[in-house]
Structure formats: structure tokens, C-alpha cells
Amino acid sequence: MSVLDSKIPAGNLADKWTDYKDHLKLVAPNNRPKIDIIVVGTGLAGASAAASLGEMGYNVKAFCFQDSPRRAHSIAAQGGINAAKNYQNDGDSVYRLFYDTIKGGDYRAREANVHRLAEVSGNIIDQCVAQGVPFAREYGGLLDNRSFGGTQVQRTFYAAGQTGQQLLLGAYSALSRQIGLGRVQMYNRHEMLDIVKVDGKARGIIARNLITGEIERHSAHAVIIASGGYGNVYFLSTNAMGSNVTASWKVHKKGAFFANPCYVQIHPTCIPVHGVNQSKLTLMSESLRNSGRIWVPKKKEDAEAIRAGRMKPTEISEENRDYYLERRYPAFGNLVPRDVASRAAKERCDAGFGIEANETNEGVYLDFSSEIRSKGKQAAFAKGEHAPSDERIWQLGKEWVESKYGNLFQMYEKITDENPYETPMKIYPAVHYTMGGVWVDYNLQSTIPGCFVAGEANFSDHGANRLGASALMQGLADGYFVLPYTVSDYLANEIRTGKISTDSPEFEQAENEVRGMINQFLNNNGNRSVDHFHKRLGHIMWNKVGMARNEQGLQEAISEIAALKEEFRKDVFVPGSADELNPELEKALRVADFMDLGQLMAQDALQRKESCGGHFREEYQDAEGETLRDDENFKFAGAWEYTGDNISNSVLHKEELKYEFITIAARNYK
């Protein structure tokens, strides 16, 4: 019998959430002001949760490490947000969104959670429009949609290439309203450095004021962690520089299980690495795959000529191009899910067809010329020009592409100094999103009572691979439409508790531990910068726990990371002092947690002897290089329990995934 209780309610799939909600306990309005809630992180999940709970009348304290809640990295999401509205009349429904998401996740997510997500997806769009989020519209004044990977309908709502920005600013404005009304107290430039448990329950946090260095105690009746994903364990990723696992890792160390850490999404369309001083990778939205065609040269000598600068991509004729996604997956073509597209790019580059002239020759083309010509022709006809010249077609097509993706093209040009209207974009996969995270039950509560985890920080909805435009959906679903109900149910037992003191020995001890950790770094007097170690960790992770993994590599990674962690502790140099703004200290505290996490990811990847979604084990593939799942032995969420500083001793608990309403099958996008 597993120690994990998912608390999935009984009943018919489509009625579970409604029935469950109807029977959850409530907290009366007059009792809510007596209850404190802490929210860590102000991205889509955190900001929407803090705003909603504040509106309900709870006392909310929200924390972010950035200088304003509006900067959380949800802001960088480009392409869109899914919702089963069926505005396009292409046969979409709640069930289809549910099914696509489960299938996209390679049958490694919970049915009930995913169905709930699909159910509330429509409400999210209604809520955001009511808040003044300016989604893209058609000329009739109604909302526009586009397609994303892994689906055959148009259900993605968007705001040019800045959907995340617009949704986050919507949530930020709702949060700002509550701050202005005094219902939410906002702590900018604060980093959570530990969770405090009293009598087994989450009762507060220790946070560092990043400006003054002050260590603060904050108590609450419930703590919500919405601090995002852990992609920066790879050093290079599409995450923001400050994105980190620290809040999640601290709750893990205090008893919250960490699930499926090996499930990492490598996004197929990012700008390739340019050099050793590179600090991050930039995503080019998946929405571009609506219009762009991905290819490499068919002939190796052409690829070599391009890398050597002797040939341009535009000089390669149509018959000498290998549109490998269209070739391998005719049904979905360029819109296969991300994991599939990424592996296919790696396969071509490993085989010697990569086109980027960097150390690794890793890069493929994303080409818009077909779309420019076809849309140009349509536009000309729409204007009554029946014999347009090639130049005219090109001009109109370019205008169409610009209206859809203008900001992305501009971003690409600024970074690479190449004009993507004239030459195809160069792209390559990069670490983007982490499906794993803190294990939570149906209520989004972790294995620490009173500690809830939302958004990318939890593990719950995307299985082994997240579909495009589903992260924004999940963040807002958790914050607006799930936590307000489930947190209230938990808090119904807290109305008599009264204010929680921060003078208890538990707070004292947690604060002392945090101070000890900080002093250790500052007095360490080693020889190397934090970045030096972070880059080495990233190197191990990318090479051995990256897009393709094998037993030997993973075993090597485990011992290499453990050794690196020791070296980091002995030899890292952190300048400055504790009582001031000290970015190097902030980084050191975060990288310490990434070291532990990296090792756990490798261990998780090692135990999962199958390939599924973003987790590809070279030993488990079919003759065509597709993933081979092992449902007999691995149809479970793997939740790790922390047992001490030696990560090798972490204990794996299994939550068996039950598929009662759909038949699981091999994923097929051919």
C-alpha cells in the first residue's frame, strides 16, 4: 500500500470536480480575515491565487524575488493558452482537450486532474477577457485562435507572441487591486529560504529581504508554493536568470515528496547556442510551427558546405531539402508534440546534417518561405488581384507573417543579426519546462499538511510531456479555480487556531539554519565563482540527463554531481556580506539546491527503465527511434522522499496511475 493518497474523488470523470467542489468545507466570510495565507511566487499561479484568496477576504502575504510581481517568468510565455471553447467549430470539446493533454503527456498524468483542467479552461478565457486582457480578435470582433503541437483543432487563444505577458499582467492587475485594498501584503525582492513546520503542519516561512539582507519570519495557516520550474539546473535554458528550485526544494527537504524530476521538456525551437559566455537561450514560439517548415539538407555535403559558409540555405533546391517532420509524421507534420520534434532534430544533427557552425554543429532550419508565398497569394486574391507578380505575392505574404509573428521575427533578428524573412531561422532544442515537481494530491496539497503547490512547481497535470499552450492554462486554473476551493476546505479547520506566533522554537531553529547556511557561504573563501560551478553542473546535466539518456551516463552523472557538490561547498567564493544586496549570495543559495536536485533527476531517470514523453532512454526505443513505454512496470508517478544530505539515500514512493475512462495506447502522431 502506497503512502501516497491522491484523494481523487470517486464518480464519473466528467462530474468528479463539480461533485467534489459541492461537498468541500467552506470558511464563512466573517472568519476569513482571521486567517493568514502565504503565497510564494507571483507568476500566473501565484498571482492568480493571491488575488483570488485576497478577494475572498483572507489575509494574504505574497512574496517574489523580483523587483515587482509583474516580472515573474510567466511573462515570457509567447504562443498562447488552450481552452476548449470550440469557437472555431472544429469539433473541440472538454473531452478532446482532456484526451489530447493525457495523450500528449504520454499517459503519465492523472485522469481526474487533467479533466478538471480541461473543464475550467473556458472559464479562464472568460475571466481574463473580463479583466481587460487584449487577446487577438478577428474582424468581426470575436476572439481568434490558432493551432499548437499535438492537436488537430484550433483552441489556442493568443495575444501576438506575448500571450504570457498579457495574462500575467491581467493577474498582476487583479493582485495589484487587492494590494491597493490592503488584502494582500506584497513583499518584493524577498526570497523564501525555508518553510516552517509546527506540529507537522506548514505554519510559515523564513524569507530574506534581498535589499537589506534581513532574515524575516512570516507565519500563516497555509503556505502556497508557486515558484515555477527547475529548468535552470541545466544553467542554459529558456528560463529567466533568477528562476530557481529553492522554494520547492526547501519544502522537499522538510517532508514534501518530489515527483518525476526526470520529466523535462526540451523545446524544439530555440535559437542555437552562440558561445561560451552565453547566459541563456531564447525560445522562438511553437506558434511559428503553424507557418514554418522544419528542414535540414538531404545531402551531407550540403550541410557541410553551409557550416563552412560556402553555401546559403536559400541556394538549396526543394528536392534537396529534408522536411524530416513531414516525412516521418505526415498526420501532424510540423505540429508534432515538442518531445517528438526535439528528438527528431537531434537525430538529424547527430547523423551529421546539422547546419549551425558552432562547436556541436547543432541546428536546423525553420523556414517561412512556403507560408509567405501561400499567404501572399491568398491576400492578393482577397484584394481582387488575380495575376499578382512574384514580388507582389512576397510583399503581401511578408505583411501577413509580420502581423502574426512580427515581434518574434524582430527578436530573432536582434539576437542573431539575420533577417528571418530573407533566410530561414536557425533553431535547436533547449531546456524549457519541467513537468516534474512537488508531489501534490487532487487538492494540490503536498505531503506536508497546509503546504499547497501550484503551477509549474507541482507535478500534476502534464505527465511526461506538456503540450504547447497548456502551461498558462494550468497556472491560471490552479490559482483562480482550484486553490480557492481546496485551500478553503483545509482552512475550515483553522478558524479557531488564532494568530500563529513566530516566537516558537520551530521558527527559531529554521531561522538559525538559514543564517548558518548564509554564513557558511560568505566565510568559505574558496577560489571559484558560483557561475563556474553552475556551468559545470549544467554541462553534466545536458550531456547525461538531457534529451537522450542511458544507464551508464546516468550512473556517471550521479557520481559526478555528488563530487561536484562537495567541490562546490569547499571551493566556492561568495564576495560581499549578508546584510546588503548581494546577487552572488543569492545565486550560491540557489545553486546549492540545484546540485541536490540534479542528482535526484539522474536517479529518477535511472530508475525509470522506459522511454516516455520528455524522458528518453536510449535502451528503450523501437526500430524507428520512437519511445517505448513500459506500462506494465512504470505506469506510476515516482515521488521521492528526502532522507538527508546524501541524495542517493532518497526513497522512491510510487503512485499507481489508474486509467478508468480512457484506454491507454502507444502515442502515434504518424
Stretch that binds another protein, among 8-16, 214-222, 415-423, 646-654 (CB under 8 A): 415-423
252 contributes a contact to another protein by CB under 8 A: no
- Strand, coil or helix: 637: strand
Enter the DSSP assignment of 644: S
List 19, 126, 315, 551, residue binding another protein (CB under 8 A): 126
Which residue in the set 395, 484, 504, 578 belongs to the binding site for another protein (CB under 8 A)? 484
Applying the rule CB under 8 A, the residues between 10 and 49 that interact with another protein are 48
Closer CB to another protein, residue 231 or residue 261?
231
> What minimum distance in Å lies between the beta carbon of 580 and another protein?
7
Residues 189-228 within binding reach of another protein (CB under 8 A) = 211
Q: Does 481 bind another protein (CB under 8 A)?
A: yes
Site for another protein in 128-157 (CB under 8 A): 128-132, 134-143
Amino acid at 477: A
Examine residue 618 and tell whether it contacts another protein (CB under 8 A): no
The DSSP code for 403 is H
Q: Nearest-5° angle of CA 166, CA 167, CA 171?
A: 120
Cell triple for 572: 566556492
C-alpha distances out from residue 105 to 39, 109, 150, 244, Å: 28, 7, 10, 24
In the set 295, 409, 428, 480, which binds another protein (CB under 8 A)? 480
How is the beta sheet containing 215-219 ordered, strand by strand?
190-198, 201-209, 215-219
Q: Considering only 27-35, 174-182, 366-374, 556-564, which stretch makes contact with another protein by CB under 8 A?
A: 174-182
Spell out the alpha helix ranges (H) of 369-440: 369-382, 390-416
Upper half-sphere CA count for residue 235 (Cβ side, 13 Å): 20
Residues 572 to 591 in contact with another protein, rule: CB under 8 A: 573, 575-576, 580-581, 583-584
In the set 6, 42, 59, 66, which binds another protein (CB under 8 A)?
66
| Set of cell numbers at residue 541 | 546535466
Closest CB to another protein among 72 and 233? 72
Nearer to another protein, 136 or 517 (CB): 136
> Considering CB under 8 A, how many residues would be counted as binding another protein?
85
How far is Cα 552 from Cα 543, in angstroms, rounded to an integer?
Answer: 12
Residue from the set 42, 52, 287, 488 that interacts with another protein by CB under 8 A:
52
Q: Which of 83, 170, 43, 36 is nearest to 453 (CA)?
A: 43
Cell of 408: 518574434
- 256 or 306: whose CB is closer to another protein? 306
With CB under 8 A as the contact rule, the residue among 35, 109, 114, 159 that binds another protein is: 159
Burial of 556 (0-12, 13-18, 19+ CB in 10 A): middle
Q: Give the pairing of strands 36-40 and 59-63.
A: parallel
Least distance (Å) from another protein to the CB of residue 119? 10
Task: Indicate the residue among 252 and 587 with the shorter CB distance to another protein.
Answer: 587
Which H or E run includes 323?
Answer: none
Site for another protein in 494-553 (CB under 8 A): 529, 531-532
- Measured N-to-C along each axis, helices 94-104 and 111-130 cross at an angle, to the nearest 10 degrees, of 120
Across-strand partners of 528? 572
β-pair type (59-63, 184-187): parallel
Pick from 202, 206, 372, 411: which binds another protein (CB under 8 A)? 411
Considering only 80, 204, 242, 538, the residue that binds another protein (CB under 8 A) is 242
Single out the residue of 240, 372, 548, 657 in contact with another protein (rule: CB under 8 A): 240
Q: Is 188 in the site for another protein (CB under 8 A)?
A: yes
How far apart, in Å, are the Cα atoms of 336 and each of 113, 425, 609?
24, 19, 24
Q: Establish if 352 lies at the interface with another protein (CB under 8 A).
A: no
Could you tell me the smallest distance in angstroms from the CB atom of residue 42 to another protein?
11
CA distance 96 to 119: 11
Q: CB within 8 A of 119, min separation 6: which ones?
A: 14, 17, 94
CB 412 within 8 A of CB 420: yes
Task: Answer yes or no whether residue 55 interacts with another protein by CB under 8 A.
Answer: yes
Nearer to another protein, 52 or 227 (CB): 52
Please provide the DSSP assignment of 541-582 as one string.
HHHHSSSSB-HHHHHHHHHHHHHHHHHHHHHB---S-SSS--
Nearer to another protein, 270 or 612 (CB): 270
Query: Does residue 162 touch another protein according to CB under 8 A?
Result: yes
Distance, CA of 519 to CA of 250 (rounded, Å):
18
Piece in contact with another protein (CB under 8 A), picked from 477-485, 510-518, 547-555, 657-665: 477-485
Q: Are strands 425-434 and 264-270 parallel, antiparallel or unpaired?
A: antiparallel
| CA 428 – CA 89 distance, rounded (Å) | 34
Judged by CB under 8 A, which stretch of 24-32, 163-171, 508-516, 552-560 contacts another protein?
163-171
If the CB atoms of residues 139 and 645 are measured against another protein, the closer one turns out to be 139
- Whether 536 is catalytic: no
Rounded Cα gap, residues 605 and 555, in angstroms: 10
Residues 68-87 that bind another protein (CB under 8 A): 68-71, 73, 75-76, 85, 87
Report if residue 414 touches another protein, rule: CB under 8 A. yes
Smallest gap from residue 650 Cβ to another protein (A): 31
The binding track of 435-474 with respect to another protein, each residue x by CB under 8 A or -, is: ----------------------------------------
Q: Which is nearer to another protein, 175 or 554 (CB)?
A: 175
Question: Nearest approach, Cβ of 5 to another protein (angstroms)?
Answer: 27
Which of 418, 513, 619, 656 binds another protein (CB under 8 A)? It is 418
Q: How far apart are alpha carbons 445 and 458 in whole angstroms?
A: 9
Interface residue with another protein, options 118, 179, 262, 600 (CB under 8 A): 179
CA distance linking residue 202 with residue 500, whole number of Å: 11
In whole angstroms, what separates CA 28 from the centre of its chain? 35
Selected catalytic residue, list 321, 338, 590, 629: 338
Candidates 408-416, 434-442, 635-643, 650-658: pick the segment binding another protein (CB under 8 A). Answer: 408-416
Residues 12, 16, 17: CA angle, nearest 5 degrees: 155
Task: Point out the residues that are catalytic.
Answer: 338
